[in-house]
Chain A
């Protein structure tokens, strides 16, 4: 770590005007590519970045393993990407009337490091066609659009998507130490392993 970075951090935390101006200029420059994508919340995001930088520097998280400017870039990019993904995250339709009284709803499985490993292992065992079809679903395509795009009948498409789902869920259950996947999801819903895996994540 260069001494100048340590001095910069120290002066920044002490409210030195020059150090604050320099750090803020670095932040603004690194965050500029995200400005258009975050135009509606740009000021809020930029403020979040400043607060995060200040918090991390104040907690001594910057250990000088890279330059201060590189560290700031990482924090800026990390924060801005999180905000972008939060803005672009698919909002599931409101199904409160269906979910009422149901406690077995699966939370997002990508919340932790172990889940990412699990996801990667699951995806390695499903076909590329399955990943492609479900990516189209996540992008908001209807089954009619997908059938026209893929050149298959609507019923055929729906069945394929269903089997991909069953396959992925079964592999996940298997990786989590549960029983082998059954053919139909109706039986899988009552599986104790599934409930354990879903709630245990």
Chain B
């Protein structure tokens, strides 16, 4: 852009409002430095600015608002007074320029907004609006800052020192400290009022809370009465004591019909005559029933105490009895089964044939005590196990011999391991070897298989006993 006088004259308004771009502004200012005519145009632009940016003075707006509000001479006179405060007088134009102001207001939103502020202020200054419009208090920091304001009386003394009488000035100066204290007292009074309002609000809240608490307590008592009037459930009947008054069936049904948790039931009944009498009657019945239940409870407690004493005595006796008996000694837990086996020939002698001894080898090992009546002693013995067909199954190798004494017979102990014999009936044959053998005194470790179908006639041995067993 090439700057010349025509372009510079066109751009001057925007140079003043500061909206030119940097390059434009730089070129324009550079041009103005060297052009007197354009500097004169800048002065004209400022004049035009002031002409077009004209607004009614504040006093005129205030007077216009007052006149429009009151519509009387009082407001105009007040505007005249306000116009004397040193600012441009507004008395004349407040009335004569009303039309111009209205015309200006129609096209100037800025002044229209100012007029609204003035009108709002006028409304707040109206004594009739004091009780209807509440002004929010200023923030705390502003209230604190207000205390730093010098006393107006002191300022008055300074301002009126030239015109006011000396006595007035003296009085104003003397009142300055008191006035300073007045600002503080006014703040204190405001704080007191705030505290009083807070305390009043807290009192109201406390009163409401206390009322609610009293009402709640009354409801609780009423619920307790109704609960006491409710009959006991049928699943746990309580025997009524003799002195207790029976609960009327109608009252019990009515109590059942009213759910206790229902708000309507929890609410206190209306103070009607018959209902109150009915409630009183129920309350008396409930109290009597409670008293009877308390007596019964006391009796039951006494019985429980007596039973407890009896149990204690029995326990003591049991302990004494156990202490008097000898100790049975240590008990040996074992899965080894010991079975006495009697000879099969006992039946022949009229003593009754013993049944076959049951040997449960499937559940564990078993020891057989083979009893014999022979008092003849052989140097060696031999045992054979045969099945029901007489076939030799084996010979127990682990045989212990218990020599008989003067008054007893010999016994032979054999131990059969678990599963040594299949389930079934077997016969055990005891032989004595007159010739003796080393193996007779030595324990036989196992059942060895038979060498022949029949061993009963083996040379050099004598059949002594036959035993029947049933292995399961």
Using a CB–CB distance below 8 Å, which chain A residues touch chain B?
12-17, 20-21, 24, 26, 28-35, 37, 42-43, 46-47, 50-63, 65-67, 69-78, 80-82, 84-85, 88, 90, 92-93, 95, 97-98, 102, 104-106, 108-110, 112-113, 116, 119-120, 122-123, 128, 130-132, 134-135, 137-138, 140-143, 145, 155, 158-159, 161-162, 164-166, 168-169, 172, 184-186, 188-190, 194, 198
Contact = CB atoms under 8 A, between A and B. Distances in A.
B5 interface: yes
B87 A43 contact: no
Contact of A30 (B88, B124, B175): B124
A145 to B, nearest CB: 8
B9 A186 contact: yes
Given A59-B159, A72-B125, A138 B87 contact: no
B17 A32 contact: no
B206 to A, nearest CB: 32
Contacts of A72: 125
A12 B171 CA distance: 11
Contacts of B40: 104, 185-186, 188-190
**Chain B contact surface mostly:** helix
Interface stretch (B43-51, B269-277, B342-350, B380-388): B43-51
Interface stretch (B179-187, B215-223, B319-327): B179-187
**Chain A contact surface mostly:** helix
Contact of A70 (B33, B49, B75): B75
Interface in B72-129: 74-75, 77-82, 84-85, 87-89, 92-93, 97, 100, 107-108, 110, 114, 117-118, 120-122, 124-125, 127
Contacts of B168: 13, 58
Contacts of B178: 15, 17
B6 to A, nearest CB: 9
A172 B47 contact: yes
B211 to A, nearest CB: 38
Interface of B: 5, 9-11, 13-20, 25, 29, 32-33, 36-55, 57-59, 61-63, 65-66, 74-75, 77-82, 84-85, 87-89, 92-93, 97, 100, 107-108, 110, 114, 117-118, 120-122, 124-125, 127, 130, 135, 138, 142, 145-146, 149-153, 155-157, 159-160, 163-164, 168, 171-172, 174-176, 178-179, 182, 185-186, 189
A21 B87 contact: no
A137 to B, nearest CB: 5
A74 B66 contact: yes
A192 B177 CA distance: 59
A15 B175 contact: yes
Contacts of B151: 15
A78 B87 contact: yes
Contacts of A37: 117
Contacts of A30: 121-122, 124-125
Contacts of A13: 153, 156, 168, 171-172
Given A30-B122, A77-B61, A140-B19, 13 more contacts: A15-B172, A47-B150, A65-B78, A78-B82, A93-B25, A98-B33, A123-B54, A134-B49, A134-B52, A137-B13, A138-B52, A165-B45, A168-B48
Given A63-B81, A104-B43, A165 B13 contact: yes
19 contacts: A15-B176, A58-B163, A58-B168, A74-B79, A77-B65, A77-B118, A81-B61, A81-B118, A104-B40, A106-B50, A110-B54, A116-B57, A123-B54, A128-B107, A131-B52, A162-B9, A169-B47, A186-B41, A189-B39
B81 A61 contact: yes
Contacts of A110: 50, 54-55
